[in-house]
């Protein structure tokens, strides 16, 4: 139904209502359509008046819908009126209405009211991130940065994840403002990005850049750049952080991989204890390897060719620099079949070490173990993104470590037309927000959308002091 353009009389509403197929929900449907068409508030008011006259009461959900319309159009006095009515009529409200009230009030000159509503919400539940967002934005818009940061820290303490918008608004609104305290807080946000491996998008990056450049007396200059493969920034010649993990992180990660990924809740789910032990002694006797290859994954690179030929090519192209190779496979590869020729398998076994797992075991877990056990220089070859293994890790910190390690150590074989295999190099530098005190390097995304979790941005913002 099309909402009318002008306020109607009660009779006219009644007529419309009777013509409607299910009169019980007429008001709801009509208000929904009004919200969709952004009808004038007066029209909605006339509908409510008719409803109030007929029933002597207006249901809560209808009130909330009317409130939505008011918030949409920024009708502050109406919002306040509805809030008064609701407060008098109901003991408490639910989160939807609170969110609307906070959003509506924070955009007006009554923004302090939004804060009192937020306080009210806190008594009952954890406010939503959008509520916090509205309040923080309102506070920082009115230059009350201290209040804004209080809310922000409170939000973090409650494990509510801030939106990128909120973070950006801090940089936007503190542009040109002085104060060591404020500066510290903003650096804190950048470190928050670093710890959670969040990459700002282009407009956010611009806000950061402008804020730095606006700092009075700081002489900061920002440049957009791309980092060389060696990990050197072409603008300030600064060497970025290494992608290698620290000793502690490294041993932590390998421990967790064995505990969570290989053993998990039950060792039998991915392998058997005997097999695991056999594998461990096998690896310990031949350490260290330079490259560990996921045989089955590599053998499927070209579907037209025989699987053992694919593997053979891969082993040949990787064996060149006298590297010690370990190929992980399954027992069925040893059976002479149309895809696996015994002669070729024999020839390969002269060039590399092979370990064949049971056909129902998971070889990926072994791949991770062998690589980690061989040391930091060891890399591994597979096209698998290893997402399921990452998911086995129990906490986010270890998952981040895993991603970082994976970026630095995974070689991806790509098929090309003439060159048989080419390697996508592992990253030598770490892709996170980083600082040395007088320089900041911030990776950013070109678009707002999320990229794949295994991808890292290639564009950087370099900020240094003159």
Partner 1 sequence: MQSANMLLRRIVRSSVLPFAAQHGMKKDLLLLSRTLSLSLCLKQDKSCEPAEKLDLDEWKKVMKSGLQEEVIETASEPKELSSLAAARETLEMWRLAGRAVPENISEEQLKTFMECPSKSAKKKYLKYLHLRELHKKNDKRKMDEKRERRLEAQDQASETDETKNSSFICLWSHTMNKAYNWRAAQSMIFGQPLVFDMSYEKEMSFREVSNTVRQIVMSESSNRRSVDPFHIHFCNFKDDSLYHREFIKNYREAWDKLLITVTDQCYTEIFPKDKLIYLTADSPKVMKTFEHDKIYIVGSLVDKSIKTGVSLARAKRLGLETAALPLEKYLLWSTGAKNLTLDQMMHILLTLKDTADWKKALEFVPKRKYCGFVNKPVKELKKTLDLINTLKLGKGREKVEKQFAKNYPKK
User: Does residue 119 touch partner 1 according to CB under 8 A?
Assistant: no
Element counts in the chain: helices (H) and strands (E): 21, 10
Nearest Cα residue to 290 out of 348, 375, 349: 375
Torsion angle, CA of 22/23/29/34, rounded to 10 degrees?
A: 140
**Where does 346-392 show beta strands of DSSP type E?**
353-357, 379-381
> Shortest Cβ distance from residue 21 to partner 1 (Å)?
19
Of 6 and 184, which has the nearer Cβ to partner 1? 6
With CB under 8 A as the contact rule, the residue among 17, 20, 32, 45 that binds partner 1 is 45
Pick from 37, 52, 161, 323 the residue near partner 1 by CB under 8 A: 52
* Residues near partner 1 (CB under 8 A), total: 45
CB 444 within 8 A of CB 200: yes
What's the CA gap between 387 and 400, in Å, rounded? 12
3-state DSSP assignment of residue 343:
helix
Specify the 3-state DSSP secondary structure of 392: helix
| Residue of 58, 147, 412, 420 interacting with partner 1 (CB under 8 A) | 58
* Residues 6+ positions from 364 with CB-CB distance below 8 Å: 294, 382, 384, 386, 389
Bond into 288 cis (ω within 30): yes
Helix axes 41-55, 10-19, angle to 10 degrees: 80
* Of the candidate residues 10, 198, 344, 426, the single one contacting partner 1 (CB under 8 A): 10
Tell me: does residue 397 bind partner 1 (CB under 8 A). no
Position 122 contacts partner 1 (CB under 8 A)? no
Stretch that binds partner 1, among 216-224, 266-274, 376-384, 401-409 (CB under 8 A): 266-274
* Contact between 48 and partner 1 per CB under 8 A: yes
Q: Tell me: does residue 161 bind partner 1 (CB under 8 A).
A: no
Q: Interacting stretch for partner 1, rule CB under 8 A, among 53-61, 311-319, 321-329, 405-413?
A: 53-61
Helix (H) or strand (E) holding 275: helix 273-286
Q: Does 191 bind partner 1 (CB under 8 A)?
A: no
Tell me: does residue 54 bind partner 1 (CB under 8 A).
yes
Among 5, 74, 90, 161, binds partner 1 (CB under 8 A): 90
CA triplet 107, 120, 143: central angle to 5 degrees? Answer: 35
Q: Which of 336, 359, 394, 423 binds partner 1 (CB under 8 A)?
A: 359
349 binds partner 1, rule: CB under 8 A = no
Candidates 4, 466, 456, 69; CA nearest to 231 is 456
Burial call 342-357: b when 16+ CB within 10 Å, e when fewer: eeebeebeeebbbbbb
> What are the strands of the beta sheet with 439-444, ordered from one edge?
220-226, 459-465, 439-444, 434-435
Residue 88 beta carbon to partner 1: minimum distance, rounded to whole angstroms: 5
The runs of H, that is alpha helices, within 300-359 are 307-318, 342-351
> Per CB under 8 A, which region of 4-12, 29-37, 291-299, 419-427 contacts partner 1?
4-12
Whole-angstrom distance, CA of residue 463 vs CA of residue 257: 37
Near partner 1 by CB under 8 A, which window of 214-222, 259-267, 284-292, 393-401? 259-267
Closer by beta carbon to partner 1, 31 or else 378: 31
Give the residue with the Cβ less far from partner 1, 47 or 432. Answer: 47
For partner 1, the binding residue among 30, 64, 235, 261 (CB under 8 A) is: 64
Under rule CB under 8 A, residue 56 binds partner 1: yes
3-state secondary structure at position 407? helix
Q: Using the minimum distance from each CB to partner 1, give the nearer residue, 25 or 37.
A: 25
Q: Of the two residues 45 and 376, which places its CB atom closer to partner 1 in the complex?
A: 45
Q: Is 102 in the site for partner 1 (CB under 8 A)?
A: no
Task: Give 294's contacts (C-beta < 8 A, 6+ positions apart).
Answer: 328, 363, 364, 367, 380, 381, 382, 384
Is 46 near partner 1 (CB under 8 A)? yes
Residue 6 makes contact with partner 1 by CB under 8 A: yes
**Does 356 help bind partner 1 (rule: CB under 8 A)?**
no
Closest CA to 321 of 388, 379, 245: 379
Nearest CB to partner 1, comparing residues 100 and 463: 100
Residue 270 binding partner 1, by CB under 8 A: yes
94 touching partner 1, by CB under 8 A: yes
Q: Is 42 in the site for partner 1 (CB under 8 A)?
A: yes
Contact call for residue 225 and partner 1 (CB under 8 A): no
Judging by DSSP bridges, how do beta strands 220-226 and 459-465 pair with one another? antiparallel
What's the min distance (Å) between Cβ of 357 and partner 1? Answer: 13
Contact residues toward partner 1 (CB under 8 A) are: 6-7, 9-11, 14, 42, 45-46, 48-49, 51-61, 64, 81, 85, 88-94, 96-97, 124-125, 265-270, 272, 359-360
């Amino acid at each position: 139904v099309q909402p009318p353009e002008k306020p109607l009389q009660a009779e006219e509403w009644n007529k419309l209502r009777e013509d409607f197929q299910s009169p019980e929900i007429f008001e709801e449907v009509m208000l929904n359509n009004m919200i969709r068409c952004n009808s004038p508030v007066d029209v909605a008011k006339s509908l409510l008046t008719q409803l109030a006259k007929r029933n002597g009461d207006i249901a809560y959900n209808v009130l909330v819908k009317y409130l939505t319309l008011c918030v949409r159009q920024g009708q502050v006095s109406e919002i306040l009126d509805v809030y008064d009515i609701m407060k008098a009529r109901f003991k408490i409200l639910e989160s939807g209405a609170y969110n609307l009230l906070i959003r509506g009030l924070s955009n007006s000159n009554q923004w302090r009211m939004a804060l009192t509503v937020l306080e009210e919400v806190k008594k009952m539940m954890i406010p939503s991130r959008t509520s916090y967002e509205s309040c923080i934005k309102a506070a920082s818009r009115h230059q009350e940065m201290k209040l804004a940061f209080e809310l922000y820290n409170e939000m973090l303490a409650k494990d509510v994840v801030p939106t990128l918008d909120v973070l950006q608004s801090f940089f936007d609104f503190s542009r040109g403002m002085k104060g060591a305290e404020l500066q510290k807080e903003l650096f804190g946000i950048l470190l928050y990005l670093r710890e959670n491996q969040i990459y700002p998008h282009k407009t956010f990056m611009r806000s950061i850049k402008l804020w730095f450049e606006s700092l009075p007396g700081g002489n900061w200059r920002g440049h957009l750049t791309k980092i060389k493969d060696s990990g050197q920034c072409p603008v300030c010649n600064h060497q970025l952080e290494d992608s290698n993990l620290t000793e502690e992180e490294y041993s932590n990660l390998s421990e967790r991989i064995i505990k969570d990924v290989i053993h998990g809740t039950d060792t039998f789910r991915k392998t058997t204890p005997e097999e695991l032990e056999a594998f461990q002694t096998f690896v310990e006797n031949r350490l260290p390897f330079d490259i560990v290859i996921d045989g089955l994954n590599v053998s499927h690179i070209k579907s037209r060719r025989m699987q053992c030929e694919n593997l053979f090519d891969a082993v040949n192209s990787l064996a060149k620099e006298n590297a010690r190779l370990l190929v992980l496979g399954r027992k069925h590869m040893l059976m002479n079949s149309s895809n696996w020729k015994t002669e070729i398998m024999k020839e390969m076994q002269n060039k590399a070490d092979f370990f064949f797992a049971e056909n129902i075991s998971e070889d990926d877990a072994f791949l991770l173990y062998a690589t980690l056990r061989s040391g930091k220089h060891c890399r591994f070859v597979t096209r698998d993104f290893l997402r399921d293994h990452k998911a086995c890790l129990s906490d986010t910190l270890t998952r981040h470590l895993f991603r970082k390690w994976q970026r630095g150590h995974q070689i991806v074989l790509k098929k090309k037309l003439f060159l048989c295999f080419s390697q996508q190099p592992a990253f030598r530098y770490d892709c996170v927000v980083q600082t040395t005190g007088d320089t900041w390097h911030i990776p950013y995304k070109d678009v707002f959308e999320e990229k794949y979790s295994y991808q890292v941005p290639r564009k950087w913002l370099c900020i240094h002091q003159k």
